[in-house]
Structure 1
Amino acid sequence: MELLDAYSDKIKEMSMLSLICSCFYSQPHPNSLAQYGDMEVKSLNKRASGQAFEVILKAPADLSPDRPQPLLSPPKKDLSMEELQKRLEAAEERRKSQEALVLKQLAEKREHERDVLHKALEENNNFSRMAEEKLNYKMEVNRENREAHLNALKHRLREKEMHAAEVRRNKELQADLSG
């Protein structure tokens, strides 16, 4: 685990410019071996997927004493009760501030959801109203069509009755004339 931590620390310390520049060159750089403190980087043969490197970490015993050691966190000093109380209060303030921010975001989200719901209900009501108007229109057209059909049937019936009455009258006249 220490080796992994040392590796990640060294990667952070490595010059980003040199790392990026090495990725842009398609040919291996004449200095294919680079040293960064307790880390050694060797360029490997170019792969189809791009440049490849081998990173070798030196053991802590390999480090020379004149090299600066990685910075360690300063030793923790004992805090007074007042300092602890101030830190607790500051942490509580940050928590309250964060809580207020989250509550505000939730309120805004609820407001947005309410607006969306209101708009959806409004659109639903408009759709229902339009559907009802179309249905009423179709029912009115059907009623008018039925009335027109009935009127046409009544008119044909009257014509047939008039024709039948005329035929009866003609038969009566023929019967009176012949007999």
Structure 2
Amino acid sequence: AYKEKMKELPLVSLFCSCFLSDPLNKPAYAYEDTVDLTWCVISDMEVIELNKRTSGQSFEVILKPPSFDGIPEFNASLPRRRDPSLEEIQKKLEAAEERRKREHERQVIQKAIEENNNFIKTAKEKLAQKMESNKENREAHLAAMLERLQEK
């Protein structure tokens, strides 16, 4: 049933029906599995049949550039952009200055955090090194004391 439905609604007829809802009251097909390219009238598009084989058909769809004959210009209907007032310019400048200040504050805080983290890291490394040195000195001192005790 699905294949039969697809035979009834080929791609070109679907494409044409999107642009022209009334197909000029013409029958869609002369024969089964044949597409009539004159089925609908589209002024901004041209469909050319390239190949017709048993495996299928190929088409070339050429879209024509839109013509603006008889259409009022869109620019005339758009409202003109008014010149910004001195107050609006001042508000925008102040907002930009505030953004720059916030960005600078963020960068300063980020740099301070980074420096603090680096300080903590180096302090931990120095402390670990100092503790290791103290441990080695203590072990050496204890070994020396034990050696003196054994000599007596």
TM-score (norm 2): 0.49
| Greater relative CO (CA pairs within 8 A, separation 6+) | 2
**Structure with greater helix share of residues:** 1
